[in-house]
């Protein structure tokens, strides 16, 4: 049961243009959504998050949009740079009965920014 889905395994964008990465979820109990970036041979690094009570959060070139009614979020990168080439994971956080939160990840989208 894939509760967090990233339907595009790869995306190619030209340098300077906008990159849009999409993510869909099914669990209404998720209270936070996060994006992580991962380079080969490294662990994922946190990029940006959004609370379920917001619909937009911006941090420099990165903006995350949340559409709760559609259970959809997207990450916009403007302008895209070659150093942005990496795998991007969407993740959703929910409280669990054992205490604390649990992160559920999507399968990732490989972004390639071309010169």
Partner 1 sequence: KAGVTQTPRYLIKTRGQQVTLSCSPISGHRSVSWYQQTPGQGLQFLFEYFSETQRNKGNFPGRFSGRQFSNSRSEMNVSTLELGDSALYLCASSLTGGGLGYTFGSGTRLTVV
Provide, rounded to whole angstroms, the least separation between the CB of residue 15 and partner 1: 27
User: Does 103 interact with partner 1 (rule: CB under 8 A)?
Assistant: yes
* Residue pair 33/47 in contact by the 8 Å Cβ criterion: no
Binding to partner 1, residues 55-84 (CB under 8 A): none
Q: Which of 60, 70, 98, 115 binds partner 1 (CB under 8 A)?
A: 98
Q: Indicate whether 45 belongs to the interface with partner 1 (CB under 8 A).
A: yes
Give the whole-angstrom CA distance, residue 115 versus residue 56.
Answer: 29
According to the binding rule CB under 8 A, does residue 46 interact with partner 1? yes
| Residue 32 interacts with partner 1 (CB under 8 A): yes or no | yes
Shortest distance (Å) from residue 78 CB to partner 1: 25
Q: Is 105 in the site for partner 1 (CB under 8 A)?
A: yes
- The residues binding partner 1 (CB under 8 A) are 4, 6, 9, 32, 34, 36, 41-46, 49, 89, 91, 93-94, 96, 98-108
């Amino acid at each position: 049961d894939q509760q967090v889905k990233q339907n595009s395994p790869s995306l190619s964008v030209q340098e300077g243009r906008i990159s849009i990465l999409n993510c869909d979820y099914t669990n209404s109990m998720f209270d936070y959504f996060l994006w992580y970036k991962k380079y080969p041979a490294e662990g994922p690094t946190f990029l940006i998050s959004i609370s379920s009570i917001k619909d937009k959060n911006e941090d420099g070139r990165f903006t995350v949009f949340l559409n709760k009614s559609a259970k959809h979020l997207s990450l916009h990168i403007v302008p895209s740079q070659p150093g942005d080439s990496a795998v991007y994971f969407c993740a959703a956080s929910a409280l669990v009965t054992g205490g604390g939160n649990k992160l559920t990840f999507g399968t990732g989208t490989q972004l390639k920014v071309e010169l």
